[in-house]
Amino acid sequence: MTRREFSVLGAAPFLQTSSAKKWNILWISIEDISPTLGCYGDAYAKTPRVDHFATEGVRYDNAHSVYPVCAPSRSSIITGMYPATIGSHHMRSLAVPPPEVKCFTEYLRAAGYYCSNNAKTDYNFNGPSNAPLSAWDDSSNTAHWRNREKDQPFFSVFNIQTTHESQLRDLRSERTKKLIEALPKKADPAKAAVPPYYADTPVIRKNIADYYDTVAAMDGEVQAILRQLDEDGLRENTVVFFWGDHGWGMPRGKRWLYDSGTRVPLIVRAPGMLKPGSNSDELVSLFDLGPTVLSLAGVPIPRHMQAQPFLGEQKARPREYVFMARDRMDEAYDMIRSVRDKRFRYNRNYQWQKPYLLYNDYMDAMPAMKQMRSLFKESMHLGPQGPNPKLTPAQLAFFGAAQKPKEELYDTVTDPHEIQNLADRPEHQTTLQKLRKVHEEFMKRTRDLGEVPEAELVERMRPGGKWQTTEKPVAKISGTKLEVSCATAGSSLVYTQQSGEKPHWKLYSGPVSVRKGDRLRVRACRLGYLDSEEVQVTT
């Protein structure tokens, strides 16, 4: 089967390719970054390496994360499921998903792929630094495709944290400081573009400039990874994805359901398959990455997955809508749902009685956030003529509102900063009603758990607050084959012949050939469960 070259608005330009090709796949994921790159038209950004990479692949202009914060977003990406369907929608919630839900990398490993992750997981199931043994051949700071067997196809992930929210304030790491100090020229705060929902102050300009410095530092890190791929002669048979996990870490970006919080860069290079230097306005949901990798690898996509591939032989029809959500963000409880087509965004505020800016200890440490809080207090100071306005209506609408509107509707073409709420405008009622209906049908179809109190949800997943442990696996030798099973529904099995605390655990996907005298270790695991006891087998 082949695809002939075509270029249709909303679909990536394809070149002729064959399903017989065995692709390697590389992800370069970037923390807390909006499309603030030169290749996306941002003249303030200094990203020559990523810009050059974009000339070699397809730039997607309508890619959105499912959640505007890391752990729920990453739980959706690793499973291909909406977090509010599987219970991983609250930040750092340690969810227990249904038994059929697994890390999509297991399907790749079963198909013979070497899967490495360097190094962040944060999947919202087993803790921020713990992935199940079945997910990766190697998940560590030294994980690399170079550690695979000779000629073994690979799926490798490199997570760049230089642009993370924490690096825009006093928590900046020594490593990030050195990367920024090495930049030939730093961002000039005086030239920063200040969004209309921020006050134009030196503090906020510097905070924005600091962000752009981290983006410039990240640009060099991307180049280093791509250079290694070239050094290994792997460019022509490797599909490279460059993407951000959600929007930038500034206020009203990360954690919020506006383009500043959900719209992310996504660039894909696939030599011989995707037309270099092209762009697509196709709507892509970030959790579509997993099934897209399976599609490119020729691995059947599990029927339970809600995500869909946007490349490969199993490519689905382009999306008409993307869906996004916000729930508990650290200690701040809220529930918002969002649906977006190529032009309009509809937000439903389920807890509209609350203000936008509930106190969040981590978010409130941001210099720009401190500045806006302070200016709001000054604005509320009563003088002889009443309140002393320090903020504009656009700034007060988010940073000073006592409560949220029940519904929001924005035209992202004429109002890219999403300032003018059109929900009450008579001329936009048809669009409002259409997107409201799409949202409500989606909530029912996906069995959204957002309105279930978290304490009740936790009790459903872990009765009495007790972590469940995966059953001990049963291993038996049948002739020259090792066969393993586990009674826990949804469990995965791993084995190794290595000793020590950190062996390479191989995924068990069927009987394993053994020889007399072999000594094997076997374990079982499941997302959201504790691992089983280890079973040792001597043949």
On whether the CB atoms of residues 70 and 80 are closer than 8 A, the answer is no
* Calpha distance 447→471 (Å, rounded): 29
What is the signed CA dihedral for 15, 17, 23, 28, rounded to 10 degrees?
A: 10
Q: Which residues contact 252 (CB under 8 A, 6 or more apart)?
A: 195, 197, 258, 260, 261, 398
Going by their DSSP bridges, the two strands 382-383 and 336-340 should be labelled as unpaired
- The neighbouring-strand residues paired with 59 are 267, 279
Structure tokens at 114: 């070497």
On whether the CB atoms of residues 296 and 312 are closer than 8 A, the answer is yes
Going by their DSSP bridges, the two strands 382-383 and 386-387 should be labelled as antiparallel
CA distances (Å), 489 to each of 99, 473, 479, in order? 6, 12, 27
* Calpha distance 63→528 (Å, rounded): 29
- Does the annotation count 70 as an active-site position? yes
The closest alpha carbon to 12, from 49, 51, 60, belongs to 60
Annotated active-site residue in 70, 103, 486, 525: 70
* Calpha distance 242→54 (Å, rounded): 9
Q: Which residues contact 421 (CB under 8 A, 6 or more apart)?
A: 405, 408, 409, 410
Hey, which residues are catalytic here? 70
